[in-house]
Amino acid sequence: MVKALSDEKKPETEAKPSVEKEIGKEEKVEGEFLLPIDSLLSAGIHIGTRIKTKDMTAFIYRVRPDGLFVLDAKKTDERIRMAAKFIYRFDPKKVVVISSRLYGRTPVQKFCEVTGCIPIIGRFLPGLFTNPSHSDHIEADVIIVTDPKADWQAVSEASAVGIPVVALCDTDNDFRDVDFVIPINNKGRRSLATVYWLLAREILKAKGEIPQDGTLQVPLDSFETKLVEAPAESTEI
């Protein structure tokens, strides 16, 4: 489970909701995965790194002979569902989704187009959450980060002002200032596309905007960052 927030936090953070406890009230769904398990595994959502933090131990299924730690796909599936049932309650204009990682930028952009949330891709400008006089100051109710290590500035500022943090965490992440974890390969293009597509779909289902047996009109492939090859040099004289 996610670590309790530090007792050294500023007084205003005491009002921060206990996201783990609140989400934990939701019943876990037994049965089928959100996508066929073969599709989830081919997307590499379960492939971790060769580093395992103590925080992530509960989400790790096994270690491969080559030293890569493997995440428990069932727990990933459960936590996507649980996160969606928490996030859908908020005004999307108060939900900020962040990725400084290159492979997370297209998934975040498409997720926000579908859900109406606010994307921040690329560099996070210091003071966006903590400095009311900042020209682009944002008052968020909850944030989603693609990698709490890469997006540490956003995580730190959100925690300082009492904004709940939902984070996509790989085997090498720790839970400092994170309120709810979705265990996932947060470095792979297809993995990030899959988790953001599923999260968007489940949020819209929870809102009643698509039926429970329905799906997104936007294909999963459009959530994936495309690799652009450099044009070949001309050989014409």
The pTM (predicted TM-score) of the whole model is 0.87
Residue 23 has pLDDT above 80, yes or no: no
Range of lowest pLDDT (2-11, 26-35, 123-132): 2-11
Q: What is the per-residue pLDDT across 180-192, written as a single tens digit (0 to 9) for each?
A: 999 999 999 999 9
In the predicted model, what is the mean pLDDT of residues 63-85?
Answer: 97
**Pick from 29, 45, 150: nearest CA to 100:** 150
Beta bridge partners of 165: 143
Which letter does DSSP use for residue 47 in this model?
B
How do 69-71 and 142-145 pair as beta strands? unpaired
Are 183 and 75 contacting, i.e. CB atoms less than 8 angstroms apart? yes
What pLDDT, on the 0 to 100 scale, is given for residue 29?
55
Mean pLDDT, rounded, for 19-41: 76
191-202 residue pLDDT tens: 999 999 999 999
